[in-house]
Structure 1
Amino acid sequence: MNPILLFDYAGVAVFAATGALAASRKQLDVIGFLFFASVTGLGGGTVRDLLLDLPVFWVADPAYLVVCTVVAVVVYFSAHLVESRYKLLLWLDAVGLSAYCVIGAAKGLAATGSPAVALVTGMMTCTVGGIMRDLLAGEPSVLLRPEIYITAALTGSAVYTAADFSGAPTMAGALIAFLAAFLVRGGALKFGWTFPRYKPRPGRRPEDIV
């Protein structure tokens, strides 16, 4: 199997699992699980393909819908066995982010040849689905958590893009990029890595402004 296609299926499956876990936290029925899994697993790639003017991947290959369906059903019957579903959601989200930033960067490069576009499509592919999931579930967005998130997506996208331009084998570049993104996001979850927060100064009185 094409290594990029393998990462694509893996990213869809893992993100679908996070959507189904979000549905389990809301105690939805199996249709709710299917909806959350599909929106989360397919959302980022759908927006990416529309922006790149490409055939939407799951329309061209309905096997992705089957992946989301199977994952949703498995989680529906097994989520209650997990002690902390939100913690598992965060770690699966980290895996999905790491796989999907590679896919997004690869598709952006293939469609345009532009490293800048590859970085944007890499970040977009691995964040939009999670944003949709959190909004629908009424959960605090993973993007708003204090730990590093977008930087992990940027790291994976940049590493894959650099590997591609250096002529590295596709599978090697994809694996290195996946590991780079996961180390950054996983380290942020494990050790609480953050960047300094913006601290605005108090506003001045109008009469003090020269």
Structure 2
Amino acid sequence: MIDQPLLFAADVLATLVFATTGALVASRKQMDIFGFMWLAMATGVGGGTLRDLLLGLPVFWVEDPLPLSLCLAVAVFLHFTASSFQSRMKVILWLDAFGLGFAVIAGTLKAMDQGTAGIIAVVMGVFSGTVGGIIRDTLGQEPSIILKREIYVTAAALGACTTVLILGAGEPRLLGAVAGFAVIFALRGAAVLRNLALPVYNPRAGRDYP
């Protein structure tokens, strides 16, 4: 079994960081305090909710209200303090990189705890890490980060694969979690700093047949 304190800690940290990014987007959109709360909650628990539903498990924030309480606390706090951030978009990008790492590792570990195949654990990790950001961008009417050329889903997938491979080799669970997080944060951080992107599909004109 996956170490439950480690799994819960990753879930809580991911929720806290993503809730912060949701509240900061709400500040950019000049929402009222209930808008802050809604965006923080939807962003903070969105990915983990989908993961638990797909795995047929009790939703983590329904079992323990701490993650949801953190979302609300972050929303209220940032409603009164968000203006102190000089560049909220830069803050959002870096916090999102942390949140991505925590959420992907939590999703990967939880799927492996259920005895799923490695590829399923990777997919659950990617879902956990990206869905909250998609919800945030959609509700905040921001261009979704997964539709941009930046390295995002790629970082999530490679980090999840790292964790699966290390645990599959029988190495300590903490090592797998830390290594997976490091891969995700390093790749995402490099993308933010260097504007790195993978080659994209270039459409070609159709052929004329006689």
Which TM bucket (shorter chain)?
A: over 0.9
In structure 2, C-alpha distance between the alignment counterparts of 1:64 and 1:143, rounded to whole Å: 25
- Give the aligned partner of residue 124 of structure 2: 121
In structure 2, C-alpha distance between the alignment counterparts of 1:174 and 1:143, rounded to whole Å: 23
- Give the aligned partner of residue 17 of structure 2: 14
Return the match for 1:137 from 140, 146, 149: 140
Contact preservation (8 Å) 2:7, 2:110: no
Shift in Å, 1:4:
2.0
For structure 2, the 5+ residue unaligned runs are none
User: Residues 1-210 of structure 1: matches in 2 within 5 Å?
Assistant: 2-204=5-207, 208-209=208-209
Question: Which one is further off, 65-74 or 151-160?
Answer: 65-74
Runs of 4+ in 1 over 4 A off after TM superposition: none
How far does the alpha carbon of each residue in 1:66-112 deviate from its partner, in whole angstroms, 9 at most, with x for none?
A: 11111112221221011111111111111100111101111111123
Amino acid aligned to 2:59? V
Secondary structure at 1:177 match in 2: helix
Contact preservation (8 Å) 1:4, 1:171: no
Amino acid aligned to 2:156? A
How far does the alpha carbon of each residue in 1:104-136 deviate from its partner, in whole angstroms, 9 at most, with x for none?
A: 111111123310110100000011111011011
In structure 1, C-alpha distance between the alignment counterparts of 2:75 and 2:172, rounded to whole Å: 34
In structure 1, C-alpha distance between the alignment counterparts of 2:91 and 2:131, rounded to whole Å: 19
Aligned residues: 207
Contact preservation (8 Å) 1:163, 1:173: yes
In structure 1, C-alpha distance between the alignment counterparts of 2:179 and 2:77, rounded to whole Å: 30
How much is the aligned-residue C-alpha RMSD, in angstroms?
1.2
In structure 1, C-alpha distance between the alignment counterparts of 2:147 and 2:116, rounded to whole Å: 31
In structure 1, C-alpha distance between the alignment counterparts of 2:96 and 2:84, rounded to whole Å: 19
Contact preservation (8 Å) 1:3, 1:170: no
